[in-house]
Structure 1
């Protein structure tokens, strides 16, 4: 029995009058359209499968891009790692950054940075009652903390607990020194090391019946700076640090001083981190081979099962495969034959197009000379070379194009300048013996006060040496350095080590006698200027912006986008820079072509797949609508036919009844 339409009761049983299975007939009449819909659905499944396969390949390419970039970067990449080792790790440990310069440095630790400690006199019991009132504590120039002592905390231990609860830069404890009948003392310890972080106690504990207490009665340990001396003799350099971590004494190296012995020389050796380089190359090889394995798997044909990989015959995949291998098969110009191609450093292609890596050969080649690391870097990364002293290639990006025969011309139209602050008046001799202060604001950092040791000073040069040392050793200036001198006009000038518009110095105040001695009125300021210039490529000028001594190609430049050069020129000048793409840099350009999120080929491919599935869905919806309309029409027509046949059968029944009645009457 077939159900062809719906009546007021919910169902309409068709075929009762004719005995015809109308539903089966309707399905048969719609079979061609249904087959078309089924084919569309199969096509959609195939498209989705290919899209998913491409997405998996894209993920593997992203991983390869990451590993490639580590080798391709012209700054801060796999070939720029450094290690630092100490001849006595119990006295000094060292960590080197990429800016560290290889070499061996001799130093000695004169003293360690220590935190101030003060204590009270002794008490017989940690719960001994003490005077009440307020106690104000301060470490260096930090925020003062005031503690109130009353009946709730007027004991030695209660005061220690209240100080710790109040926070601030001090920690309090009750210690037992084991002496006599009053061994318990309140010990205050600064949370900060450094000579500038002495403990100041303002004691207003004076009421009540408890014992008097002076928390700062005894200096247990003075606040001191770490001192590290480099070299020996008259030319030795001694630097101070408020902490036991000394940064940039050796460029790019952080020292952690652990033991002091001024008579002991310690060697810190900085070398290229070859193990990190080898690991980076191994990671690259592994990632590259994973891409090749996936492509091989997805483009093969299995004759036994007559099944083909999802990417078999795909032109984009074939082009990608060729471009990947071609980028790595090149010979890099300008390098020696011992390091100008992969095979010379332990890498090669096997018969399946995968990379093999002989790490022993690579490591051996890397250690052949002091310049091997730089040569290997040029083999893999984007590198550059200038033909003029004072202009040097710094870095480039994956948007920086290699020079094609003709170098890029670098025009320096204005050199970078330091901030040079000049006194308003001629200096005079400082004869006072008391320490003085100078308020300085440097490179946009907060203004600080530095203490200048008391005189008298025999000359202005001696005073300036003390001023320079005080500023350069100030921990809060984070290694922003200055030089202090007398210029040709006989006035004091303070010059920043830093260049550019971010370099600035200001004298904002200080002791009046010191300001007079230096010729300052307390309002002097100065700011540096950035380098200015442009690049010229085959006669076409490309814009550039300056930051300090670094000139950078502007975003969107056809060739020099991301190119950075440093200029130490003191006057306008020019240079020619040749930019070379190493193997990883070339591979990076290929990967960027496929993976760029806006214009990359994989973005285009994915858009095509998405449109195909959308078009198929639209076609399925259209065909289904036609089937539904045709089904409704046929159901209506068959229902009308059944009604007509049923009516005819009713008439037939009536006629048969009348005929039967007539026959009965005549008999």
Structure 2
């Protein structure tokens, strides 16, 4: 016996004593065990191949889901798109949102918003030494920029560099007046709007023997801060803004003003090309899914090969569900608008979609302007209510059609604004001091302070108008606007335009003259409340969650999950809601049932494949252990046999030698 080599199974023995190929014999005896392992590996490979096919299909379905949702959304769908064009893009440009109403609007750009600019005294030598000390510059009610002027920076350029390095709301540069040839420090506000005037406190510049930076300590105003102003409707409505971007003077349209003293015509229309492209993208993605399913489930009779997913029930069910979502009529729509054919869509013999884009384009260009709304209902989730103060806002991927159901909306508590009321009736409205202030916190924002124009005011109403303008001009969003007026008892009240628990306002301080004139003591506050209510579906109550004026169905509701309604009721009330699911909305729910990362069918399929693969791996490990143990045992037995045979051959040799010796002696 000899060792012929070493393998992963251990030592390989060659039967020199017996002439037997022991490894070949062992492999033959282990053949059944190895076949079991080979079959298991084949099963694992087949599972992996199927799982890979499902992963590929899942990726294609995600793309289809994205394209479907563009048509299915009840808010911001492809059919809500709008375009806005200006007759003079050098004077104003326009961008339309989904809330814009198609039509033609005339806008007169009266004034552009400007930032304030002030200048220092003029100096024949720009390197003239200036007085040292502290310079303070404030824009509107913002943070004061404080600059220290010393012997190292007491020149015009030195002060300009220090202002810019401070990073406040102003920028500074040194310019030469072409009329006088004198150098001046020019300070410009980075904020536009009438509320952002530049105020300079140069009283701290008293050190050294240099020149005064400002004549008499007061800068020269080169450009006053100014609000932008436009009029619409032939001047019937005037709107101002602290910036040159004005929103919603035309509903849903943002205007960017570029040139004042100009009149432009803004045309708002449905975005026909965007809607047609969205439908084409949907068709392309749907057909890609159909092609992929066909390739994975086909049988080639010539090559006698089957697709990886041929006969798979999940794939068959998916294909049927996709087709059913698109072919069934939409309940609640008339016969002429409840099928895809009205949008130029049809099915060919292989079940793929065919799209006649010209038919949809022609329909969307209907002069009445109502076609887009009809197609939105055909494709998306839409709703209507019986109470004018309760309106449908949106639905989610789990919101169900109410066809055949009675759905009642119960508003048990109306949403409220935050309304802070003064502690006393208004006092004197003189307000003689310059830049009197009012400090407040609004809608959980940081504490703010606004300056009011100095008095005297002719009436309390004039003062309240100034307060409202000052507060609203300081806001970056109209969501934070307030209304200032008097309550029934003659006290000043400030109301947020925002509703719900996110609406809050507090008066935190201000100039004594302002607080006295308004009747505030600086400690008043108020918080709004959310709408409250529920849905009742065929006698069963479903939970609703209130946020501001929006009532939303809880995620676990059978019918109203994700349903959003806006309630403008001022007291408890009721109404009914009807929800219609268009073809894309139905398809979106089908896709969600497969793709949901927690409860989707593909998640269950993946988990099953992973578990089956893990089980096979465990079985392979056990079978391999049995094979290894059996191989080791056989090797040990053959080694023992070879040893015994070798010993017998040695004994035989000795006996033969002994016999030969005995014969010789005789």
TM-score (norm 1): 0.92
Instruction: Give how far 1:277 is off.
Output: 1.6
- How far the C-alpha of 1:288 sits from its partner, in A, is 0.7
SS of 2:505 mapped into structure 1: strand
How many Å apart are 1:12 and its aligned residue? Answer: 7.3
Tell me what 2:308 maps to.
310
The answer for the alignment partner of 1:110 in structure 2 is 110
Offset, 1:539: 0.8
CA distance in 1 between partners of 2:209 and 2:149 (Å)? 13
1:290 to 285, 288, 291: 288
Q: Compare 217-226 and 435-444 and name the one that shifted more.
A: 435-444
Q: Structure 1 stretch 340-349 or stretch 627-636: which is displaced more?
A: 627-636
Assess if the C-alpha contact under 8 Å between 2:72 and 2:585 holds in 1.
Answer: yes
Q: Secondary structure at the match of 1:616?
A: helix
Deviations 1:610-635 (A, max 9, x none): 22222222232222222212211111
- Residue 190 of structure 1 corresponds to 189
Closer, same or farther: CA 130–472 of 1 in aligned 2, 3 Å: closer
1:28 shift after superposition: 1.5
Mapped contact 2:381–2:395 kept (Cα < 8 A) = yes
- 1:241-390 to 2 correspondence within 5 Å? 241-261=241-261, 264-368=262-366, 369-390=368-389
Do structure 1's residue 556 and structure 2's residue 556 form an aligned pair? yes
Report the counterpart of residue 398 of structure 1 in structure 2.
397
Q: Is the 8 A contact 2:193 2:225 kept in 1?
A: yes
Distance 1:584-1:657 versus aligned 2 partners, 3 A rule:
same
Give the CA deviation at 1:52: 0.5
Query: What corresponds to 2:230 in structure 1?
Result: 228
Superposed, 1:463-482 pairs within 5 Å as 463-476=463-476, 478-482=478-482
Q: Is the 8 A contact 2:531 2:567 kept in 1?
A: yes
State the SS of the aligned residue for 2:113.
coil
Q: Is the 8 A contact 1:5 1:635 kept in 2?
A: no
In structure 1, C-alpha distance between the alignment counterparts of 2:211 and 2:503, rounded to whole Å: 56
Measure the CA separation in 1 of the matches of 2:170 and 2:560.
54
Partner residue, 1:144: 144
Distance 1:488 1:401, change over 3 A: same
Please name the residue that 1:597 is paired with.
Answer: 597
CA change 1:208–1:412 in 2 (3 A) is closer
Contact 1:163/1:172 (<8 A) preserved? yes
| Cα distance, 1:202–1:416 mapped onto 2, change above 3 Å | closer
Q: Are residue 218 (structure 1) and residue 220 (structure 2) matched? A: yes
User: Is 602-611 or 515-524 further displaced after alignment?
Assistant: 515-524
CA contact (8 A) 2:475 2:481 kept: no
Contact 2:102/2:268 (<8 A) preserved = yes
Three-state SS of the structure 2 residue aligned to 1:475 is coil
Kept after mapping to 2: 8 A contact 1:115/1:223 = yes
Contact 1:5/1:636 (CA < 8 Å) preserved in 2?
Answer: no
C-alpha distance in 1 between matches for 2:512 and 2:207: 41
For structure 2, the 5+ residue unaligned runs are none
In the alignment, the residues of structure 1 paired with residue 522 and residue 11 of structure 2 have an alpha-carbon distance, to the nearest angstrom, of: 100
Answer whether contact 1:137 1:145 (CA < 8 A) is retained: yes
> How far 1:327 moved relative to its partner?
0.4
1:452 to partner: Cα distance: 4.1
Taking the aligned partners of 1:217 and 1:527, their CA distance within structure 2 comes to 43
The 1-side partners of 2:143 and 2:639 are apart by 94
| C-alpha separation in 2, matches of 1:526 and 1:238 | 31
Q: String of CA shifts for 1:12-31, please: whole Å, max 9, x gaps.
A: 75312111111111111112
CA distances 1:308-357 after superposition (whole Å, capped 9, x unpaired): 11111211111111110110001112223332110111111111111111
Matched, 1:439 2:447: no
Question: How far 1:458 moved relative to its partner?
Answer: 4.8
1:478-529 Cα deviation digits (max 9, x unpaired): 4523333334434443333222232333333344444444444443333332
Matches of 1:123 and 1:456, distance apart in 2? 38
State which drifts further: 209-218 or 385-394: 209-218
| Correspondence 1:14 to 2:14 | yes
Contact 1:136 1:147 in 2 (8 A): yes
Matches within 5 A, 1:87-106: 87-106=87-106
**Would you say the 8 A contact 1:100–1:270 is kept in 2?**
yes
Mapped contact 2:141–2:450 kept (Cα < 8 A): no
CA separation of 1:656 and 1:642: change in aligned 2, threshold 3 A: same
Q: Post-superposition shift, 1:250?
A: 3.4
Paired with 1:496 and 1:217, the residues of 2 have a C-alpha distance of: 38
- Give the direction of change, closer, same or farther, for the CA distance of 1:144–1:416 in structure 2 (3 Å limit): closer
Which position in structure 2 is the counterpart of 1:420?
419
The within-5 A match list for 1:173-188 is 173-179=173-179, 182-188=181-187
**Aligned in 2, Cα 1:422/1:205: closer, same or farther, shift over 3 Å?**
closer
In 2, distance between residues paired with 1:462 and 1:550? 35
SS at match of 1:620: helix
Give the deviation of 1:457 after TM superposition. Answer: 4.6
Distance 1:132 1:26 in 2: 102
* Secondary structure in 1 matching 2:375: helix
Instruction: Choose 317-326 or 119-128, whichever is displaced more.
Output: 119-128
**Residues in 2 aligned to 1:32 and 1:598: alpha-carbon distance in whole angstroms:** 42
- How far is the alpha carbon of 1:57 from its aligned partner? 0.4
Question: For the structure 1 residues 152 and 495, does the alpha-carbon distance in structure 2 shift closer, same or farther, using more than 3 Å as the test?
Answer: closer
Residue of structure 2 in register with 1:23 after alignment: 23
**Aligned counterparts of 2:80 and 2:333: Cα–Cα separation in 1:** 19
Q: Residue 79 of structure 1 aligns to a residue in which SS?
A: helix
- The structure 1 segments of at least 4 consecutive aligned residues displaced by more than 6 Å after TM superposition are none
SS for the counterpart of 1:171 is strand
- 1:58 deviates by 0.5
Question: 2:33 maps to what in 1?
Answer: 33
